[in-house]
Amino acid sequence: MPLPETAHGESSIDRKLVNKLTEEQMARFREHTPTSAEYFDRARKVMPGGVPSSFQLNDPWPVYIDRGRGALVWDVDGSEYVDFHNGFGVMCVGHANPVIGEAVKARHDEGTHFAAPTSGSVVSAENLVERFGLPQWRFSNSGTESTMSAIHLARGATERDLIVKIEGSYDGHHDAVMVSCYPELDELGPRESPNPIPFGHGYPQAVVELTRPVPFNDAEVLEGLLKEYESQVAGLIIEPAMMNINIIPPKDGYLERVRELCTEHGVKLIFDEVKTGATISYGGATQRFGVEPDMICLAKAICGGYPGGAIGMTAELGEIIASDKVHQIGTFNGNPLVMAAAEATLTQVLTPDAYEKLEATNDALKARCQEVIDRYGLPAYAQGLGAKGCVIFSGEPIYEYRDYLTKVDGELSTLAWLYHMNHGIFMTPGVEEEWTLSIAHEQEHIDRYVAAFEAFASDVGGG
Ligand SMILES: Cc1ncc(COP(=O)(O)O)c(C=O)c1O
């Protein structure tokens, strides 16, 4: 489990049964991952927790991966899985994609780094303009760098200090947004004015106080806060559809009202599309929901498996960067190898047709999961957009973090994860994540997912 267990809901499923099945499945998991256990022993001597990033932590140990191809991955024990984790939503292009491989190999032979612009960054920026509508783009090395630059730009453009973010959202690991990511129930404070809670230690309280959380899907609370802090808020950073507490789409009219309020109060609207960007439609959430922000943060799927990000902005904001009033900088920004991968991903692989296929495959998977849920009477529902989906273990729809915290059955979600991992489905560890499909996912892969889910459903639902 990469994060503190935050979903505390308890569904109607008998706890004794959940605990018994969890023990059984955990024993099975240990049995089929002995080499991962050996790697773990070795790795934790040289890496804290045995992993390169804390999001890769997992109970009892992480599954160490050997290789991947198309929709499949193999772990160091040689077990094959269909990959629905897809590198936390990066690998929509499928593993070892030959088009991207060719582009990267060709670029390698012509030199991989100059810290001077190459054509790949120009073509990629042109493509992002076409997809997302915003006219100016810069590149970064990760989602964290993208949201960090966007916040610098919001503050620099407005000469204001406060940032508003959504309670229960994760927007990267720099100080301004490591606030109220996964706060505990007793820390939350009133819903109309939630407490800003640092996500772990290492963030000065003075900095934490500059970020104010608000609940998702509630424009009235946002309006109240913007009035209370009139002329002090630089920017609002928001995932247009929340994707780090399962998937929560925006309610009808919510994003439109958020746009209006930001304009009214002179607040820069930043869409964190690190997860949604290249996955839920050709033009991400911006296109899908038809609301244009002042800035868009991208990373993950846009570079086809290479570490890169991007920040889109209005012409006015672009001028602030061009004039160097706000410094958006980095040795590896627009690295030629990453840009070659981005260009191939954006222009050749994740085409409008690819999004049609991803959506159709996802719709089929969601429908089949829902059918299993209904047949076994599980307290759950299937949710998803574009290439992303999940089963949410709550008997009623969730609309914001406080719902997630109190209604989602975390233990049942963890048990479902174990069933998937023990039935050849590689899934994101943790309660809060979702599946990501790639263009390599076909009917047979969906069948395997549904079979694993049904094994779980029949054991817990008694069917
Ligand atoms: C919505 C969102 N924003 C930002 C980030 C940070 O991206 P990165 O891990 O590339 O720094 C993430 C990572 O999961 C994310 O989900």
Tens of pLDDT along 299-317?
999 999 999 999 999 999 9
Based on the residue annotation, tell me whether 355 is a catalytic residue of this protein. no
Question: Is the pLDDT confidence value at 43 over 80?
Answer: yes
β-bridge pairing 162-166 and 233-238: parallel
Distance CA 351, CA 374 (A): 35
Average of pLDDT values for 239-258? 97
Question: Is the pLDDT confidence value at 463 over 60?
Answer: no
Distances 397 to 65, 144, 401 between C-alpha atoms, Å: 35, 30, 12
Q: What pLDDT, on a 0 to 100 scale, did the predictor assign at position 416?
A: 95
Nearest CA to ligand 1 atom 13: 172
Average of pLDDT values for 361-379? 97
Give distance in angstroms: CA of 25 to centre of ligand 1: 30
Tens of pLDDT along 171-182?
999 999 999 999
Give distance in angstroms: CA of 397 to centre of ligand 1: 25
- Judged by average pLDDT, the poorest of 127-131, 242-246, 430-434 is 430-434
The more confident residue out of 49 and 7 is 49
Q: What pLDDT, on a 0 to 100 scale, did the predictor assign at position 432?
A: 82
Question: Is the pLDDT confidence value at 223 over 90?
Answer: yes
Which of 140, 274, 311 gets mutated to test ligand 1 (max ligand atoms within 8 A of its CB)? 274
Q: What pLDDT, on a 0 to 100 scale, did the predictor assign at position 232?
A: 98
Identify the band that residue 462 occupies on the pLDDT scale cut at 50, 70 and 90: low
Whether this prediction's pTM lies above 0.85 is answered by yes
Share of the chain above pLDDT 70, in %: 98
Q: What pLDDT, on a 0 to 100 scale, did the predictor assign at position 7?
A: 79
Identify the band that residue 451 occupies on the pLDDT scale cut at 50, 70 and 90: very high
Give distance in angstroms: CA of 377 to centre of ligand 1: 34
Distance CA 88, CA 269 (A): 25
What is the chain's mean pLDDT, rounded? 96
Out of 300, 366, 388, 407, the active site residue is 300
Average of pLDDT values for 317-323? 98
Tens of pLDDT along 80-122?
999 999 999 999 999 999 999 999 999 999 999 999 999 999 9
For ligand 1, residues with CB inside 6 Å are 88, 142-144, 147, 170-172, 239, 244, 272, 274-275, 299
Q: What pLDDT, on a 0 to 100 scale, did the predictor assign at position 12?
A: 82
Question: Is the pLDDT confidence value at 1 over 50?
Answer: no
Based on the residue annotation, tell me whether 381 is a catalytic residue of this protein. no
Tens of pLDDT along 12-39?
888 999 999 999 999 999 999 999 999 9
Question: Is the pLDDT confidence value at 4 over 70?
Answer: no
- Judged by average pLDDT, the poorest of 22-31, 121-130, 218-227, 430-439 is 430-439
Q: What pLDDT, on a 0 to 100 scale, did the predictor assign at position 369?
A: 98
Q: What pLDDT, on a 0 to 100 scale, did the predictor assign at position 342?
A: 98
Q: What pLDDT, on a 0 to 100 scale, did the predictor assign at position 10?
A: 77
